[in-house]
Amino acid sequence: MQVSTIPPESAALEDAVGVVHRPAEGPVRIVSLVPSLTELVCGLGLADQLVGRTGFCIHPRDIVRRVAKIGGTKDVRMEAVRALEPTHLIVNIDENRRETVDRLAAFIPNVIVTHPCAPEDNFGLYRLFGRIFERDAEAGRLAADLAAALDAARAAAVSLPPERVLYLIWREPWMSVSRDTYISATLRAVGWETVPGDASSRYPEIDWQAPALAQAQRVLLSSEPYRFRASHLDEVARLSGRPTVLIDGEMTSWYGSRAAAGLRYLVRLRERLAAA
């Protein structure tokens, strides 16, 4: 098993846009605009330092319900954030608007920008957060767990027949994911290759008559951002002419501390479908 280790103290703490951070000094007050990373902050034992979060930051429920909401991932209430006097802001390139982050950076001294594109990128997240917030031991445990989950995912990908899948995230217009997304990379880890393979956008609209969709052997209906339900299974099966199943979108798209659990969930789902 290949376990990622936390690097030495001298390692640069560089975020997704190349900003090098220093370990936090003095009282820490964190505002997170990323649901996955709000969960990671809590998983690292930093719940007491989390002072603000979006309405979409719903995990862990028993903790975040006590944390102030400051709007959504894209429509942030600036004055609400300012009143919290945060020392650190956590954002993501895909989930937050650049102009919003720039406005917040005017009064928040430390802005940590993230952009994980594959499950393996979580090792860097653990390392970065662990170093900045002095949670190396907790970050190391998450890294070891993820390494084990990746080993299990790779084993499943080898032992089960490869499949091409259409992963739907929206209905009317029907939308999927391209292969350069975190979702697609996570599915690929367990032997599911997403179609279409040549999408011009990261979240392409789907034409049910497109030749590329003929390659799909199965359709996966995600629970987010559109909440597909059992009532949609027959509709999509008719449109696609393929076996169609529901899938937990949090387990495919939430990085951070949920990454290992997500991979294990996908392994179990693949094994169950293969057995059926």
Among residues of the chain, what percentage have pLDDT more than 70? Answer: 96
Element (H, E) at 271: helix 259-275
Is residue 248 predicted with pLDDT exceeding 70?
A: yes
Q: For the whole model, what pTM was predicted?
A: 0.92
Quick one: how far is CA 204 from the chain centroid?
19
Assign 200 a pLDDT band (cuts: 50, 70, 90).
confident
Quick one: how far is CA 269 from the chain centroid?
19
Give pLDDT tens digits for 11-30. 569 999 999 999 999 999 99
Give mean pLDDT, residues 122-145.
97
Query: Between residues 11 and 259, which one has the greater pLDDT?
Result: 259
Is residue 216 predicted with pLDDT exceeding 90?
A: yes
Instruction: Let me know if 75 is exposed, middle or buried by CB neighbors in 10 A (0-12, 13-18, 19+).
Output: exposed
Give mean pLDDT, residues 161-186.
97
